[in-house]
Chains A and B, each alone.
Chain A
Amino acid sequence: DGGITQSPKYLFRKEGQNVTLSCEQNLNHDAMYWYRQDPGQGLRLIYYSQIVNDFQKGDIAEGYSVSREKKESFPLTVTSAQKNPTAFYLCASSILAEEQFFGPGTRLTVL
């Protein structure tokens, strides 16, 4: 668990503001993922990346962007186009074909 970290733990966003959530792992995992968790909705996939410089959209990618310039890092930007961003955001990583390990999460609130 300690091998995947997210920051900050809490984040507040004003209307019309872009914010970036950090996700770092030192597990040497190839694949990284971003999920959004809302009460009663489970975890929904935003983006995932199986290799550096490549990523794919998940079910709810609109209003979000990502980059994968380094194997260890997969930051998520919540843009002003995301109209309802208040949620708990979870990052995960895995060796391809193995289980996913989750970070501790970032709770984003729109003011």
Chain B
Amino acid sequence: GENVEQHPSTLSVQEGDSAVIKCTYSDSASNYFPWYKQELGKRPQLIIDIRSNVGEKKDQRIAVTLNKTAKHFSLHITETQPEDSAVYFCAASIQAGTALIFGKGTTLSVSS
């Protein structure tokens, strides 16, 4: 089955810096890759997703890149703000709407 590895497990940056979180997956059939943000005690919420027919997708300060050959995808957050502090999860599935396999999460801390 699918396995998703996520790195780093913790990341500390200064406000205004960029943050990058990387994930690798094992099943070459996977073609849907969402990223979720979870604040303490709250539910995960989708922040961006990408499908395998796209190499990069941007939404304001966040972007996701996908390299299907290498089977890895990354989340990029620019101009980080304290409110970006949260746990971020990557996930993969064979198609959107089927079961997601999650990475173990990255705790991002943005200090002002």
Contacts and interface: CB of A to CB of B under 8 A. Distances in A.
A39 B24 CA distance: 21
A79 B96 CA distance: 30
Interface of B: 1, 6, 9, 34, 42-46, 49, 89, 91, 95-105
A99 B44 contact: no
Contacts, number: 64
Interface residues of A, number: 29
Interface string A18-52: 00000000000011010100001111110010100
A31 B99 CA distance: 9
Interface of A: 1, 30-31, 33, 35, 40-45, 48, 50, 56, 58-59, 90, 94-105
Contact of B97 (A42, A94, A102, A105): A94
